Structure 1
């Protein structure tokens, strides 16, 4: 009796499974088709869903993702957005799927053969295409979505046609439809990934100096390479993998020819500059280190590059500001507010390591504010708004307070066993514009301290230094590192943060035989 009930339930459910499978496959193919057409650009249909997922995420969840998951948090959010987009586009394609599978309205004479296939495919393409265009205002993205759905539905129809006229059971026909639709969706997705990859930019090594680099850039990057410690596994003084933290997972794609920078608000004369105006100004090169306020105590969201651009001071002076606060606005909708005096010694960078500024790092222009947390170094900069009153910034609305100077930190990033009981520990230390005077290492849990070897300082007031220390020890032991800034002040020992205003504490690690 029970067995017959279960079998009856299976019979009732089973007819829906092909429709569900084809619908989800159509949704995946629509998203993949859009990606195939435009890549990971604002016109990609997932962009809107990504914004929605981030907007609906509680602040506590976002803080957890930043502080505990790092870049993995962004990846999970983006995967969630992709999943929501696939389901949404699948539901929109459902009327076409229903017609194709014979579950739609009675089409009379068309309820056989090619007529049903044509109606189903066209309906299945039209609705997702309209949704894609409504979300992105991009015809390539809309046509890509339509093509993806069309391929799935045509393959589904072809799979059914191959089984027509045979004495195969209905279950076999359903399986053919499901396998055909899933295979087609996977094929479109694989092609999109093959052509565009993950959509994240790959950057050449900073020491692969471009042939057209100015002599000053070539000299600076060569100097950074020569001054870097030859510690196995330790990143050099100019980062080979620069961290990236943004409010969204799809970066703006700003047209440099149409872009401009405005200086507005409490100024004697509002100013506007296009890219040619900036290029006509004297170019300045600076080594600058950036650290994210959400960086964990021994995290990896701290990096250095050679940036080239124009000093902020000249542009501000021309506008004659009367306010004491500024808000920097980015093309991605991000903004942050802080004292104007912090911005005055800053740099507006449009080149990085001798090359044009990458899109992922704010092209065509980004701000670099000396010694302050990364959150106020706004990317895709479009406006400098001067104000004479305080304003709550983007992250301050979410409980962060990272607009001040960075905390001093020594990172323990590399541990190497050299043999014969000898160990090498190494890392980077940073204290903003205060500079690093010393890094001290304890290999006995803090009972005694020894000064580590420091790399020669690079030019600049806002640059990290490498440190390394070699010693002998038997068995497992605790290594602790701490930094002393250029003012002679020791790094804060108490562990705290990162939220709300940056991580503090001494980094420790147990070292020795496993």
Structure 2
């Protein structure tokens, strides 16, 4: 009787172990062939988790966890994928061992794993990457000894674990090599050197700041990046088109070659994330290459009968604007003289001057013209509207200069209102002095650098505030980013 119980326990433990190995290696195998794309088996699960998460939880995570919050839904998505693939192996192991037909169990497990991966990714060929490891580990499990007399040794378990880890390691390497091509742009968009000249001119007007405050143009690596899900769409310009639909007489479809044949502009545009903290670093500027959106909207709705437009993205994101807010909007396919990187909306994204960063839709695929307002993605989750951005002066660096003075510096931004001046207090707000400002880059929606140096005398409470181009002082009252963006004056204590 005791031996019978032990045999059943060993069988159950063995099944769980090999099912676990199958689940982990199945996910790894999918990553090896699909990389960090939406063809990876975890990607559609992650998208579903994001869509199903209540807005209250999303807001809580953004405010209390910050930019690492995306790791929570990603971890849950991995766990679900591993669990489902492990379950397919568990079924195969049960059938193979119970009926003494290991081949049947292996085929069943592999088929179930393939069906699961193929159905959620719509990639039947790549689904083999997930199914094959599941079938292999089901085979190993069904052939492993489990009776008392054939007790699987610690060595066998160690070898199995090491083999699974080795497979995961190889898969990570293969998946990364797959990703290398996904982030590569299609080539330069600065064929006449205009963007290079603009960037060089901006560099010349940047302040000579000693600290970590960046210049007036952010590189690809510096530019912040926030999306609703972890896996970006992978689109080719040849396959891309945007359709204007809705309350229009005839749908207008714009392929990439038509878009790039339209009048081309190069614009400095600054983006700021609505979910960042008051002194956060999700604020950047680039030179964008593209064409105005207004002519395409006029082609679809020549009489201007539609008051609203819903902008939709390939990643299922959507934002609603009044059509008047889109009069100066911009369809961009270039960034700093190169094609858009995949993570920034390749091949085409929308830029709407003066509005929060999340409303500048990446991977734009459709514009639906409406005769009444509808909530966008973030509005459905409790955030307020599409803009305009709040005025802010950031305090990003403090440096002791060679002459003993302390230099504080940062950037200021107020959307299309512009920045008139930045004021600095070194005594907690009792007195104020104007900071030195850089010239703004040419454009209607850009930031400016500021800096201020002073001779320290003990402890100083530094406070900074901005005045926008309309003469309005940045509000002092502090608020969290949810639901309308962080507000308040940035403060920092400095002792020397």
Q: Secondary structure at the match of 1:437?
A: strand
Could you tell me how far apart the structure 2 residues matched to 1:205 and 1:417 are?
Answer: 40
Q: How does 1:445-464 map to 2 (within 5 A)?
A: 445-464=428-447
Per the alignment, residue 353 of structure 1 pairs with 336
Task: Decide which of 223, 230, 242 is 1:242's aligned counterpart.
Answer: 223
CA deviation profile, 1:265-317 (whole Å, cap 9, x unmatched): 33455322111101111210000011122121111222111111011122122
Q: Does 1:225 align with 2:206?
A: no
Cα pair distance change 1:411/1:198, threshold 3 Å = farther
Q: Secondary structure at the match of 1:60?
A: helix
Could you tell me how far apart the structure 2 residues matched to 1:87 and 1:452 are?
Answer: 57
Tell me if structure 2 keeps the 8 A contact 1:429–1:483: yes
Give 1:78 deviation, angstroms.
0.9
Per the alignment, residue 265 of structure 2 pairs with 284
Deviates more, 1:315-324 or 1:371-380: 315-324
Task: Decide which of 359, 362, 365 is 1:382's aligned counterpart.
Answer: 365
Task: Decide which of 393, 407, 412 is 1:429's aligned counterpart.
Answer: 412
CA deviation profile, 1:321-366 (whole Å, cap 9, x unmatched): 3112111111111111121111111110011111111111112211
Give 1:380 deviation, angstroms.
1.1
Tell me if structure 2 keeps the 8 A contact 1:402–1:502: no
Tell me if structure 2 keeps the 8 A contact 1:26–1:149: yes
TM-score by length of 1: 0.87
Per the alignment, residue 300 of structure 1 pairs with 281
Per the alignment, residue 183 of structure 1 pairs with 162
Give 1:264 deviation, angstroms.
2.3
Give 1:214 deviation, angstroms.
2.7
Q: Does 1:85 align with 2:81?
A: yes
Tell me if structure 2 keeps the 8 A contact 1:268–1:322: no
Give 1:416 deviation, angstroms.
2.1
Tell me if structure 1 keeps the 8 A contact 2:267–2:289: yes
Could you tell me how far apart the structure 1 residues matched to 2:109 and 2:352 are?
Answer: 51
Task: Decide which of 423, 435, 439 is 2:422's aligned counterpart.
Answer: 439
Give 1:505 deviation, angstroms.
0.5
Tell me if structure 2 keeps the 8 A contact 1:495–1:504: yes
Q: Secondary structure at the match of 1:257?
A: coil
Per the alignment, residue 495 of structure 1 pairs with 478
Tell me if structure 1 keeps the 8 A contact 2:412–2:448: yes
Per the alignment, residue 194 of structure 1 pairs with 173
Q: How does 1:104-503 map to 2 (within 5 A)?
A: 104-107=97-100, 116=102, 118-153=103-138, 170=150, 173-197=152-176, 213-231=191-209, 232-240=211-219, 241-267=222-248, 269-319=250-300, 320=302, 321-418=304-401, 421-503=404-486
Give 1:417 deviation, angstroms.
3.0
- Please report the RMSD computed on the Cα atoms of aligned residues, expressed in angstroms: 3.1
CA deviation profile, 1:453-475 (whole Å, cap 9, x unmatched): 11121000000111112222133
Could you tell me how far apart the structure 1 residues matched to 2:160 and 2:183 are?
Answer: 39
Per the alignment, residue 113 of structure 1 pairs with none
Tell me if structure 2 keeps the 8 A contact 1:312–1:347: yes
Deviates more, 1:176-185 or 1:439-448: 176-185
Could you tell me how far apart the structure 2 residues matched to 1:465 and 1:9 are?
Answer: 74
Give 1:372 deviation, angstroms.
0.8
Q: How does 1:54-73 map to 2 (within 5 A)?
A: 54-73=50-69
Cα pair distance change 1:148/1:212, threshold 3 Å = farther
Q: Give the gaps of 5 or more residues in structure 2.
A: none
Give 1:187 deviation, angstroms.
1.9
Tell me if structure 2 keeps the 8 A contact 1:455–1:465: yes
Aligned length: 489
Give 1:480 deviation, angstroms.
1.1
Give 1:228 deviation, angstroms.
2.7
Could you tell me how far apart the structure 1 residues matched to 2:467 and 2:176 are?
Answer: 43
Cα pair distance change 1:355/1:290, threshold 3 Å = same
